[in-house]
Amino acid sequence: MLRLIATSLCLRCPHVSTLPLNLRTCVTLSSAENQQTVEALYDLSVDIQKVRKLKGWVLHQSPAYTKEVAELLRNMGASGPIIARILGVHPEAVLCNPKHMQTQRELWMSVCPNQKDLVAIIEKFPASFFTSSSHHDNQRNNIAYFQSLNLNKRIITKLMASAPQSFSRPVEQNQVMVCTLQQAYRELGGEEANMKIWLQKLLSQNPFVLLKPPEVLRQNLLFLRDKGFSTAELLRLLSSLRGFVTELNPDSMRSTLAYSQDTIGCSEAELRGIILKCPALLYYPESILAERFKGLLDAGVSMSQITEIPTVLELTTQIVNYRIQRLKARGYDVRTGSLQVLNGTKKDFEMSFGKLQLRRERPLFNPVAPLKVDD
């Protein structure tokens, strides 16, 4: 009879380097699958084959707390299918100690309105919830700090979900970046009474802004000031541009600005006006801009149309071509009409498309035209 011998691996073993950092010191890797884990996941209707294919290492860990984690989620109001989806995409959750997860739940509930909302967050961002217990003190301190700024709880929850790294690090690092943002806001003429709303909007649009060095923000502002943007325009860019801190640096902006000015054939002053309409032009790589300009021009759109509605450059070429074809099928020619109908999210486009179709199907009433009446 064959016996499978579970072999413990020390942290120097090369296989352990494939594990997430927060789990390397709390689990033991075995040469055989943990059958209790496999059976528990199977009972929960988790796709075992998918787990084996994408994150098979999880099934070799011991100890595992599959039933306990499922019970925690169930007590929070998660249904069976939701639990199966969470553990299917993030099976590492079963390696988290239930006591630590209870602490994590309490931390999240200090800013989350209710358990139903928390379950929805976990389903969308499971890795943000199932984190190492070594981060709890930092999470607690960061939550307290953002609450001291009187930020909306919804904003704090969004930060924790989409940028968990900013909560797992020492609070002092976030304090430095927030102070830098507040100082820039004041120096650019922002009103003190509106600072809280401004900061909430900025953090909501770009949660990763906290993870970048404050020096990057200062360098970007100085560069754009040298390019002729006024303090009011700089504040507008800082408020609306998602990539102002995360993607931008003077070198990349210099290259992008030169390419855009040459392609459009405009002056620096005219380019500043276009950028104020579409700040994303500052951080798109030249290769992406080239593809999107070419796609629009190949579709018969003029450069003057693009500069009038430059935000169409935020859409991929595939999306633009798809929308142009749908509009063409309804008799709308983008070569002679406004590009505004192409703009926006999928929801925005469907609303604009619906209005075009409605106008097409319902002719305008002419009050001076003679009425047709039966003899």
Q: Where are the domains positioned within the chain?
A: 32-130, 249-360
What angle separates helix 66-75 from helix 98-109, to the nearest 10 degrees? 20
Report the chain's mean pLDDT, rounded to a whole number: 85
Which has more confidence, 43 or 280? Answer: 43
Q: Is 228 left (phi over 0), alpha (psi -120 to 50) or beta?
A: left
Peptide bond into 63 cis (omega under 30): yes
Q: What angle do CA 83, 88, 89 make, to 5 degrees?
A: 110
Query: Has residue 49 got a pLDDT over 90?
Result: yes
Query: Has residue 375 got a pLDDT over 60?
Result: no
Query: Has residue 127 got a pLDDT over 90?
Result: yes
Region of poorest pLDDT, from 20-24, 172-176, 220-224, 236-240:
20-24
Fill in the amino acid letter for 18: T
Query: Has residue 261 got a pLDDT over 60?
Result: yes
Distances (CA, A) of 15 to 36, 49, 50, 273: 22, 21, 21, 54
pLDDT category at 357 given cuts 50, 70, 90 is low
Closest CA to 274 of 293, 290, 292, 261: 261
pLDDT category at 284 given cuts 50, 70, 90 is confident
Summarize pLDDT for 297-342 with one digit per residue, the tens: 999 999 999 999 999 999 999 999 999 999 998 888 999 888 999 9
Per-residue confidence (pLDDT) for residue 243, from 0 to 100: 55
Per-residue confidence (pLDDT) for residue 3, from 0 to 100: 36
Per-residue confidence (pLDDT) for residue 246, from 0 to 100: 53
Per-residue confidence (pLDDT) for residue 337, from 0 to 100: 86
Q: To the nearest whole percent, how much of the chain has pLDDT over 90? A: 65
- CA dist 80 and 74 (Å) reads 8
- CA dist 165 and 159 (Å) reads 9
For 317, other C-beta atoms within 10 Å of its C-beta total: 16
Q: To the nearest whole percent, how much of the chain has pLDDT over 70? A: 85
Summarize pLDDT for 50-102 with one digit per residue, the tens: 999 999 999 999 999 999 999 999 999 999 999 999 999 999 999 999 999 99
For residues 112 and 153, is the Cβ–Cβ distance under 8 A? yes
Per-residue confidence (pLDDT) for residue 8, from 0 to 100: 34
Query: Has residue 120 got a pLDDT over 60?
Result: yes
- CA dist 263 and 303 (Å) reads 9
Kindly provide the b/e burial profile for residues 45-56, where b requires at least 16 CB atoms within 10 angstroms of the residue's own CB. Answer: ebbbeebeeeee
Main-chain phi, psi angles of 168, to 5 degrees: -85, -10
Per-residue confidence (pLDDT) for residue 252, from 0 to 100: 84
